Amino acid sequence: EDKVVQSPLSLVVHEGDTVTLNCSYEVTNFRSLLWYKQEKKAPTFLFMLTSSGIEKKSGRLSSILDKKELFSILNITATQTGDSAVYLCATYAGNMLTFGGGTRLMVKP
Amino acid sequence: DTEVTQTPKHLVMGMTNKKSLKCEQHMGHRAMYWYKQKAKKPPELMFVYSYEKLSINESVPSRFSPECPNSSLLNLHLHALQPEDSALYLCASSQFQQETQYFGPGTRLLVL
């Protein structure tokens, strides 16, 4: 059975801190890994990673995939209170997107 | 435009009611999805439509009935639901299957 595991489950930091969120996976027919941010409702798309070792960056957020060790990390630098959310990692294997349990991030002022 | 819209935003229904959830996208995407999300859990896939044909049904009970009238619309018909079906129902779409999925804001459903 395909498995996507995120850690930590939750994290509390202060504004300005840097955080690293982890996602490990065991899936057959792996195709890509996606990161989403979910605040109150819809998950919003952050990154899609298909190649190992190539960092994707968007403002203060960056992510990288390691297909040999089967994990990805999402980094957020200089965190702000608006970064508070659940961050979901998901893998495409075959035609299905399998989500991890999410990391709940709270950024305190 | 990466917008997926869903109506209604909230829905309260009794166990004998029949209701429908609607999802719409105008991005020309050919794959559309229904997910169910319970509190503090990740989304769980229910159905996948590809080119307006049902391609994946994740063993969802028959009281949930999807319909794809055209390439922009996806409905989820609800009948004889149970209280445990209360959840956030998310619709998503992607250019094709295996591409990035964009989510709608969801319908929060409460079954009494």
pLDDT tens, residue by residue, B66-103: 999 999 999 999 999 999 999 999 999 999 887 899 99
Strands B53-57 and B107-111, bridge-based pairing: unpaired
Which chain B positions have a beta carbon within 8 Å of A31's beta carbon?
98
Token duo for residue A45: 């798309």
Q: Is B2's pLDDT higher than 90? A: no
- Give B7 to chain A, closest Cα distance, Å: 13
B5 in contact with chain A, both atoms CB, cutoff 8 A: no
Q: How confident is the model at residue B56 (pLDDT cuts 50, 70, 90)?
A: confident
What's the DSSP call for residue A80?
-
Q: What is the pLDDT of residue B105?
A: 94
Task: Tell me the C-alpha distance between A18 and A37, whole Å.
Answer: 17
pLDDT tens, residue by residue, B29-48: 999 999 999 998 999 999 99
For A20-47, what is the mean pLDDT? 93
Which burial class, exposed, middle or buried, applies to A97 when counting CB atoms under 10 A from its CB (0-12, 13-18, 19+)? buried
